[in-house]
Amino acid sequence: MTAPRTPGSASTPDEVRERLATLQAGDLPVHTGRTLAYVYDSGLEEVDRVAREAVAAFAGSNGLDPTAFPSLLQMENDLVAAGLRLLDAPTGAVGTVTSGGTESCLLAVQTARDSRPDVVGPRMVLASTAHPAFHKAAHYFGVEIVSVPVGPDHRADPEAMAAAIDDRTVLVVASAPSYAHGVVDPVPAIAAAAAARGVRCHVDACIGGWVLGYAARLGREVAPWSFAVEGVTSVSVDLHKYGYAPKGTSLLLHRTSAHRRPQLFSSARWPGYTMLNSTMQSTKSGGPLAGAWSVLQLLGDAGYEQLTAQTFEATDRVVAAVEGLSGLSVVAPPDATLLVLGTDDDLDPFTVCDEMAARGWHVQPQLSYEGEPATIHLSFSAATLGHVDELVAALVASVAAARVFGPVRVDPEVAAVIAALDPADLGDDDFDGLLAAAGLAGVDEDTGALALPERMAEVNAMLDLATPAMREALMIAFLDRLSRPSW
């Protein structure tokens, strides 16, 4: 790569464009329909193009002050109104555009906490399948998590969640659907239990909200999950997932403006202008907002209905095909457009993921957790539909190759060592050694490029043996080393 390591000397526009293209060539493809995590592909080139133009046109506008940039306020209210309408919200419901699902979840927790200043040691009740954004919120805002195991169908257990609510509970969370299993929690029973105790109930529909909203309109059977359910006080739904918007927008919707009030922040305690924010950001690019607004304008209900129909058709077809394959199984029949696959005992899911990658398909390994074996996650997009046969063929070939390759075998002694590792006993040098042993030594000193193993199955097999605390510590040590620039 020809890029200078730091912008010490100026470059020409063409040089910069070329370097950007070179850098991007090493990334996962965003638009081939073959990346089944991280990206959501409508397959509509012109929609993407107009959205990117909008991002660029508003990249310098600042959402910090809605009176200075009234265009942004208008677009935000339009997006929120579209979300409220889709999610069966009552009159008087309100919302905010955030930077993404995590920010929406963080603010739902912060708002619930601050609505109960009387509670000392606030808690939130989550199913064990809830998204890590809630663990991040717990970490940031000092709200204790009460994690409740899910039932055998991978859905939250409403009786157990009800029993976990106490006088310190400020929030109960349900998912529609959960990311890891793609199933919708029993929202009516959970919301009723929360309401009976006067506790807020947030539905995390970050990934599924947009697709489930349109699924109902298409006549697909969808268990109740939206504001139509009594007791649901807030819902998060990402536009940068199945809204097919460029990255950087999600909606946090509240049943009433009173529910949202603690989210709004103002500070007059300095000599500058009076600060007024609705989200965690202060200076806030108008780009993502304008991008999302443009996509909604272009698609309209008819466009989303069609994209949703395509995505469900792809999901149904892959599910039907997998049911006829040996080696793979559907872990939970999908309620939305996410699929979790299990493998037979003699077939290593991590090797299947590597083999899929070798064939240009990016699926996501999920480590074993609380007695559940490791699995493979696929998030389908509308653009998947045109490639279903190739996808199924790639799965068949990957399973066959993974059988030839054989499962990753970790030496039992090494396995015992890994399982017994406690991050509290380890120093920074130990992590250097562990990361090197795992092949995750990080950055190539000479080129500055990411140095990852060709195949990730061995790394995943070792991580799979580690405790959750050890997995977290290893990942943090890894990121720490990745992000140490040299100059």
Ligand X SMILES: *Cc1c(COP(=O)(O)O)cnc(C)c1O
| 226 lines the binding site for ligand X (CB under 6 A) | no
Q: Which residues face 372 on adjacent strands?
A: 369
Q: Which of residues 426-465 bind ligand X (CB under 6 A)?
A: none
CA–CA separation, 378 and 325 (whole Å): 16
Looking at this protein, which amino acid is placed at residue 71?
S
DSSP codes joined into one string, 227-246: TTSTT--EEEEESSSTT-PP
The alpha carbon dihedral of 467, 472, 475, 476 has a sign of negative
Nearer to ligand X, 250 or 308 (CB): 250
| 207 lines the binding site for ligand X (CB under 6 A) | yes
Task: Provide the minimum distance between the beta carbon of 134 and ligand X in the complex, in angstroms, as a whole number.
Answer: 8
Nearer to ligand X, 48 or 204 (CB): 204
Nearer to ligand X, 200 or 455 (CB): 200
Task: Provide the minimum distance between the beta carbon of 236 and ligand X in the complex, in angstroms, as a whole number.
Answer: 7
Task: Provide the minimum distance between the beta carbon of 207 and ligand X in the complex, in angstroms, as a whole number.
Answer: 3
| 100 lines the binding site for ligand X (CB under 6 A) | yes
Q: Which of residues 227-266 bind ligand X (CB under 6 A)?
A: 238, 250
Task: Provide the minimum distance between the beta carbon of 76 and ligand X in the complex, in angstroms, as a whole number.
Answer: 17
User: Nearest 10 degrees: CA dihedral of 127, 132, 138, 141?
Assistant: -140
Looking at this protein, which amino acid is placed at residue 10?
A
Residue 134's Cβ-count burial label (10 Å; 0-12, 13-18, 19+) is: buried
The phi, psi pair for 183, rounded to 5°, reads: -115, 150
- Selected from 35, 96, 169, 175, the binder of ligand X by CB under 6 A is 175
Q: Measuring CA to CA, which residue among 239, 195, 272 is closest to residue 96?
A: 239
| 101 lines the binding site for ligand X (CB under 6 A) | yes
Task: Provide the minimum distance between the beta carbon of 103 and ligand X in the complex, in angstroms, as a whole number.
Answer: 7
Q: Which of residues 5-34 bind ligand X (CB under 6 A)?
A: none
3-state secondary structure of 376: strand
CA–CA separation, 234 and 143 (whole Å): 18
Task: Provide the minimum distance between the beta carbon of 22 and ligand X in the complex, in angstroms, as a whole number.
Answer: 27
Per CB under 6 A, the segment of 201-209, 214-222, 353-361, 407-415 that binds ligand X is 201-209
| 292 lines the binding site for ligand X (CB under 6 A) | no
Nearer to ligand X, 249 or 384 (CB): 249
The phi, psi pair for 58, rounded to 5°, reads: -110, 10
Nearer to ligand X, 40 or 58 (CB): 40
Residue whose Cβ sits closest to ligand X? 101
Structure tokens at 414: 């090494």
Q: How many residues bind ligand X (CB under 6 A)?
A: 13
CA–CA separation, 380 and 337 (whole Å): 6
DSSP collapsed to 3 states, 168-187: CEEEEEEECCCCCCCCCCCH
| 102 lines the binding site for ligand X (CB under 6 A) | yes
Structure tokens at 392: 């199924």
Residues 6+ apart with CB under 8 A from 371: none
The phi, psi pair for 315, rounded to 5°, reads: -60, -50
Nearer to ligand X, 100 or 327 (CB): 100
Dmax of the chain from CA atoms? 69
| 47 lines the binding site for ligand X (CB under 6 A) | no
Per CB under 6 A, the segment of 101-109, 150-158, 162-170, 261-269 that binds ligand X is 101-109
Task: Provide the minimum distance between the beta carbon of 476 and ligand X in the complex, in angstroms, as a whole number.
Answer: 18
| 105 lines the binding site for ligand X (CB under 6 A) | yes
User: Pattern 113-152, binding to ligand X, x per CB under 6 A?
Assistant: ------------------x-x-------------------
- Selected from 206, 336, 340, 470, the binder of ligand X by CB under 6 A is 206
Instruction: Report the chain's terminal Cα–Cα distance, integer Å.
Output: 16
Nearer to ligand X, 106 or 194 (CB): 106
Residues in touch with ligand X (CB under 6 A): 100-102, 105, 131, 133, 175, 179, 204, 206-207, 238, 250
